[in-house]
Amino acid sequence: MTSRRSSLDASAAHAGGFFLDDTPTEEVDRREAVLESLAGTVRDLVDAAIRTTVEDEEVLRVRDDLAALVARLRASQLPGPAGVRFNADRRSWNWGNAVVGAANGIAPPLRVVHGPDGCHADVRLGAAYEGPPGLVHGGVSAMLLDHIMGETASGRRRTAFTGTLTMRYRRGTPLGPLRLEARVVREEGRKIFVDGSISDAGGVTVEAEGIFIQPAGTPEFPRT
Ligand SMILES: CCCCCCCCCCCCCC(=O)SCCNC(=O)CCNC(=O)[C@H](O)C(C)(C)COP(=O)(O)OP(=O)(O)OC[C@H]1O[C@@H](n2cnc3c(N)ncnc32)[C@H](O)[C@@H]1OP(=O)(O)O
């Protein structure tokens, strides 16, 4: 088995909280597709584990099989979290991210679409995201909005951290298909004010207002 650490870790040089990594875009794309397919199966596993009704003995056999699979993946590991990396092409990848991480089986994952008036994402949340019966956990709603609003503030050209996030839960958000939207309302110096929402087929379920801050001294790139 080939270890990826040599190219995806040793080449990385720390740069302002992000990692400049010299892995060629083609190799990043290939590895991402492989990890993404694994994460999809892990996601399916999480849902299956929550909803299984098979007998106890079978659950315990599956547990043992899974422990053996985990040991195979542990044969070669990064020393810590995956971090955020980018290369000279400005191809960035954050495979462990809690919301969009391609390798993260507990990320929904959100696929954020950047448009001229803001960002949106369509997502289907299943049993793993339940809070009240049949409804999305309020913290999950906040997490997803935090991410899409942060990405909107960032605009793929600067770093923007959440300073303040205010949520208004108008009604329960049902598990199932949902749309998230976010847009920049205004900017004041390093502060970026962003509105966001989650909707189901019946309209808005959660509204949010956020103040995102571009940390002092961090670079701003031209829009792509
Ligand atoms: C190319 C790159 C692409 C990158 C893509 C990445 C996309 C990722 C998307 C990820 C999305 C996920 C996102 C996440 O999950 S981000 C993770 C969650 N957030 C954090 O961990 C942030 C922690 N906090 C900090 O790091 C600092 O406190 C920050 C950076 C926020 C400000 O520290 P800084 O030292 O810079 O601040 P300053 O004192 O110079 O003040 C500057 C101005 O800001 C105003 N202010 C300060 N604090 C707050 C506040 N809390 N609310 C409202 N306003 C605040 C302040 O009054 C002042 O205003 P004014 O007096 O000038 O009017």
CATH number at residue 189: 3.10.129.10
For residues 93 and 115, state if they share a domain. Answer: no
Distance CA 104, CA 107 (A): 5
Q: What is the mean pLDDT of residues 71-80?
A: 96
Same structural domain, 114 and 209:
yes
CA-CA distance, 208 to 82, in Å (whole number)? 29
122-154 pLDDT, tens digit per residue, is 999 999 999 999 999 999 999 999 999 999 999
- 98 and 1: one domain? yes
Calpha distance 129→135 (Å, rounded): 8
pLDDT digits (tens, 9 = 90+) for 99-122: 999 999 999 999 999 999 999 999
Please check whether residue 220 lies inside any domain of the structure: no
> Does the residue 139 lie in any domain?
yes
Beta-carbon contacts of residue 47 (< 8 Å; ≥ 6 apart) = 126, 127, 128
| Together in a domain, 152 and 170 | yes
3-state class (DSSP) for residue 52: coil
Distance (angstroms) between ligand 1 centre and the Cα of 158 equals 12
pLDDT of residue 220: 79
β-pairing verdict for 85-86 and 18-20: parallel
For 143-201, the pLDDT digits (tens) are 999 999 999 999 988 889 999 999 999 999 999 999 999 999 999 999 999 999 999 99
CA of residue 42 to ligand 1 center, whole Å: 33
- Which residue bears the tokens 């990594």? 21
Q: Are residues 170 and 123 in the same domain?
A: yes
ipTM score: 0.94
pLDDT of the residue at 6: 36
Residue 155 alpha carbon to ligand 1 centre in Å: 15
Task: Answer yes or no: do 96 and 119 share one domain.
Answer: no
**Considering the chain, what percentage of its residues have pLDDT values greater than 90?**
83
Asked if residue 85 and residue 13 are part of one domain, the reply reads: yes
- Report the nearest-CA residue for atom 2 of ligand 1: 158
The answer on 17 and 63 residing in a single domain is: yes
Residue that finishes a domain, picked among 103, 121, 155: 103
Is 219 inside a domain boundary? Answer: no
73 Cβ below 6 A of ligand 1:
no
Domain total in the chain? 2
Q: How confident is the model at residue 209 (pLDDT cuts 50, 70, 90)?
A: very high
Whether residues 88 and 133 fall in one domain: no
Q: Which of 79, 103, 127 corresponds to the end of one domain? A: 103
pLDDT for the residue 160: 94
Query: Which structure tokens are listed for 204?
Result: 């808005």
Q: What is the mean pLDDT of residues 6-33?
A: 73
**pLDDT over threshold 80, residue 10:** no
Cα torsion angle, 198, 202, 205, 209, sign: positive
Say yes or no: 99 and 117 in one domain. Answer: no
Distance 175 CA to ligand 1 centre (A): 31
Task: Give the confidence band of 3 by pLDDT, cuts at 50, 70, 90.
Answer: very low
> Which of these three, 103, 127, 160, is where a domain ends?
103
Query: Within a domain: residue 218?
Result: no
Residue 119: domain span: 110-213
Could you give the dihedral angle defined by the CA atoms of residues 98, 99, 100 and 102, in that order, rounded to the nearest 10 degrees?
A: 40
Please report whether residue 42 resides in a domain: yes
Q: Does one domain contain both 180 and 138?
A: yes
